[in-house]
Structure 1
Amino acid sequence: MVAPSNVFWDHVGHLHTNVLHWEGFPNLLWDSLSLFFCTEPPQYDGVEYRKEGVSRCRVKMMILQHPFRSQWHPIEVDVVGYRLVDTIETAALEAIHIFCNQHPMEVAGHPIGLFPAIDSSNPEWNFRIAHYGHMLGDSAEETIRGVIRFMNVQHHYQILLRREMGQLTGVAQGHYRKADRQVTRIVELQALVTEKDEIIAARNETILHRED
């Protein structure tokens, strides 16, 4: 099912899009949802902001209620990152993970069940896929297990990267708070010096008047 792409910013600076204008996890997610007769692609709401001197980004997305499978409840994802593009990809990947966990039997016979996908522009991958018949013989189970393990490792690797970035951000925010306190202290000391200079100047003026 082909859905038109849409990208727009609202009056408060939020980006709204279904992210169908580039090849990525959002597109893979929608292609897979279409196989299950979903009619509306997920919408992504992203906003960039600064927190304690560090650029941050928050993306919310939702897979809507299935049009006729009442037991397929909406899936909501809320992700915090550092750039809109990366955070949107992370949100889509998280949505794929949740969708597969909620519907393991349904996705078992589809590519989404073996997420995440490999870059389709990789010539080596295309060559192997074009000649993958030998992998579906006696070693089919081993091949599938290996692919699943690779995909799970990739997913966990991205989680680790996010955690590492969070730790680095925490360190950066700590330095920012320390520097901010030092700047505040310097300003206070400068104000104190100025005040004392004014007092000294006033006393000197008083002394001069008395000498006259």
Structure 2
Amino acid sequence: MGQDRKSGKGDTDGDAVREPSQAERTRQDILEVATREFAEKGYSGARIDEIAALTSTTKRAIYYHYESKQGLFIAVLENAYRGIRALEATLDLDHLEPADSIRTLAGFTFDYQWAHADFVRLVMVENIHHGAHLEAAVSLRNVNVPILDAVHRVYARGVATGVFRPGIEPIDIHMTISALAFFNVSNRFTFSRIFDHDLGDPAIRAARRSVVIDTVLRFLQADAPAAG
């Protein structure tokens, strides 16, 4: 009875939560700090020395875990994309009516990107570098496939039931949702200054969220005019 100290197993047969190792904690600490640094200062502006100084580790340890500055940035990008994709997978889109699925996905994307401004900034930084680091991130190529598959299934159900009009590519649906949500973070301060329209105001943000969802649904609805 009780816990087997040698095997680490107890009566729950491995159900107990495994404590992260020191190496895992160190990597997570580095990733969290590096995410902030790259998001705020860009790839060129972020410094490994400063990231090391802000963590409970050393520059040598960072290179041990990630090999180079590029390796660390790729790890940051991978972590960022895996974060949003993991939460998208919990939305249960296949068990909602097609319109409700799109409404849920669009609302989630809007909320996630607003709450994770660093994610938006990292994407902007990577676009400045023409996607060069993502090109090297082989493991990421399959991470983003599930969201397109999910959108495809929802859209196909919507077309089959007459809710959505045919002829739209799933990637265009995903791109439209992403773009409408992305803008509110990427252009928040310039748009707010130019038009005196504070996108950070909760009431304005809530209204904008409704507009984004409504725009996506109108784009897809069966009686909408075809683009061209």
TM-score, normalized by the shorter chain, greater than 0.5: no
- Higher RCO, Cα 8 Å, sep 6+: 2
Higher helix share: 2
Q: TM-score, normalised by structure 2?
A: 0.27
Higher strand share: 1
Larger radius of gyration: 1
